[in-house]
Amino acid sequence: MNILVCGGAGFIGSAFIRNYLKNNPGDKLTNLDSLTIGSNIENLKDVEKNPKYNFIKDDIRNSETISKLAQENDILVNFAAETHVDRSISNPKPFIETNVLGTYSLLEAARKSDKLFIHVSTDEIYGDAENQDSFTEENNLKPSNPYSATKASADLLVNAYHRTYGIKCITTRCTNNFGPYQFPEKLIPKTIIRASKNLKVPLYDGGYQIRSWIYVLDHVEAIESLMRKGKSGETYNITAWNEITNRSMVEKVLKLMNKPLDLIENVGDRPGHDKRYSIDSSKIQKTTGWKPKYEFDQALQETVSWYQRNPTWWEPLTNEKTLHPQPWTVNW
Ligand SMILES: NC(=O)c1ccc[n+]([C@@H]2O[C@H](COP(=O)([O-])OP(=O)(O)OC[C@H]3O[C@@H](n4cnc5c(N)ncnc54)[C@H](O)[C@@H]3O)[C@@H](O)[C@H]2O)c1
């Protein structure tokens, strides 16, 4: 089988590629990525010499390239997106361009080639789950910030293309991922990097927001299971049921690093901040049999240790902007 992966030089896309090539040595995989912020081609060092792997530097909005690649491949999997909520608040435009228009370009290619399109979305499209049961795939979309609004827009376009044109597609909505190779601006790597430099670790509004965490390899294996056994036109939530406050998460990381908890600094809140994300993933479990297999505390410990062992990976990606205590105030 030939697979086109878009956005494979980022955190989750690169984990998908490393894992997919290991599990499916007979398949050929092409990775298209424009290498914007969040990406790092070093994430793919392990596979760059694999004859079954091929990299193309391009933009998902380049419809000519995408259409040609769609003809040559059997499945299109899209991880390419602008992904940092804070940056979407200070400048929403690139989010609309990549997350909405980029998805449109891929949908057109899937429509013309009649290939299966896997749309990687997020639990954030449901909006705030404070005082509510966990959202199922049947709940309405109620995004709160420009990032989640552009992801929700893409989800709606995917559904419309299935209904109107009958394209083959599957949408996945996963919770917060953690693991090696995550860009330093995100909560866990930023905590590890700032703490390792004995800098204060910023937390919005006391860090009482609840997020549900999944180890990145569980996420990519869930996607692989859907490529094989998912039903076209359907949406699947993906969670590992690890709901904790951001404060508890940061405290866990600091304890693993033997750093004092008084490094934590309250920096006020971010506009439009959701208090809780929570989803139910019974549907994927029933459909494909997938369930998370990595134990949360052990995976977190291994993640912290990976960043501690690999400063040569994160140092070149780290600057005042990526480590800023209130990135939504920064002019990106
Ligand atoms: N990180 C999470 O916790 C999480 C949770 C659920 C869903 N998701 C979704 O998973 C996907 C991947 O997230 P991630 O954390 O790996 O993001 P990331 O920011 O690490 O990677 C995104 C990749 O997309 C590429 N890209 C951006 N714009 C592009 C364009 N126009 N054309 C081609 N490539 C482009 C970037 O260069 C980068 O390599 C996103 O769609 C995100 O919404 C992420």
Estimate to the nearest angstrom the gap between the alpha carbon of 324 and the chain centroid: 21
What integer pLDDT is reported at residue 285 of this predicted model?
A: 98
- The ligand 1 atom at the shortest distance from the C-alpha of residue 15 is 16
Q: Mutate which of 4, 12, 86, 277 to test ligand 1's pocket (most atoms within 8 Å of Cβ)?
A: 12
**Ranges of residues in the chain whose predicted pLDDT is under 50:** none
Q: Which residues contact 295 (CB under 8 A, 6 or more apart)?
A: none
- Tell me if 76 CB under 6 Å of ligand 1: no
Q: Which CATH superfamily is domain 187-209+244-275+295-329 in?
A: UDP-galactose 4-epimerase, domain 1 (3.90.25.10)
Please give the distance, rounded to the nearest whole angstrom, from the Cα atom of residue 163 to the centre of ligand 1: 26
* C-alpha torsion sign, points 11, 181, 86, 134: positive
Which of 176, 240, 230 lies closest to 12, judged by CA? Answer: 176
Angle at the Cα of 137 from the Cα atoms of 244 and 151, rounded to 5 degrees: 80
Whether residue 251 lies in the annotated active site: no
- 234-238 and 264-266 strand pairing: unpaired
Q: Is the CB of 122 under 6 A from ligand 1?
A: yes
Which residues 6+ apart lie within 8 Å of 58 measured at CB? 32, 33, 34, 65
- Assign domain 2-178+213-242 to its CATH superfamily: NAD(P)-binding Rossmann-like Domain (3.40.50.720)
Does residue 215's CB lie within 6 angstroms of at least one atom of ligand 1? no
Q: Which of 126, 147, 181, 215 is the catalytic position?
A: 147
128 among known catalytic residues: no
Count Cα atoms within 13 angstroms, Cβ side, for 191: 30
The pLDDT score that the predictor gives to residue 243 is: 98
Our answer on whether the CB atom of 99 is closer than 6 Å to any ligand 1 atom is: no
| Global pTM value | 0.98
Catalytic residue among 33, 59, 124, 221: 124
Ligand 1 close to Cβ of residue 270 (< 6 A): no
Catalytic residue selected from 123, 218, 224, 243 = 123
Residue 147, both tokens: 């990032």
Q: Is-contact 233 162, C-beta < 8 A?
A: yes
**CB 181 less than 6 A from any atom of ligand 1:** no
User: Ligand 1 atom closest to Cα of 7?
Assistant: 24
Ligand 1: distance of its center to the CA of 41 in Å? 13
Are the CB atoms for 116 and 110 separated by under 8 Å?
yes
d(CA 329, CA 332): 9
Residue 43, phi then psi, degrees to nearest 5: -60, -20
Q: Phi/psi of residue 236, each to 5°?
A: -130, 125
Q: What ranges do the domains of the chain cover? A: 2-178+213-242, 187-209+244-275+295-329
Contact residues for 33 (Cβ-Cβ < 8 A; gap 6+)? 6, 7, 8, 9, 10, 13, 39, 55, 56, 57, 58, 80
Could you tell me the distance, in angstroms and rounded to a whole number, from the CA of residue 205 to the centre of ligand 1? 26
Q: How far is the CA of 259 from the centre of ligand 1 (A)?
A: 31
Residue 2: the pLDDT is 98
Q: Is the minimum distance from the CB of 173 to ligand 1 under 6 angstroms? A: no
The yes-or-no answer on residue 124 being catalytic is: yes
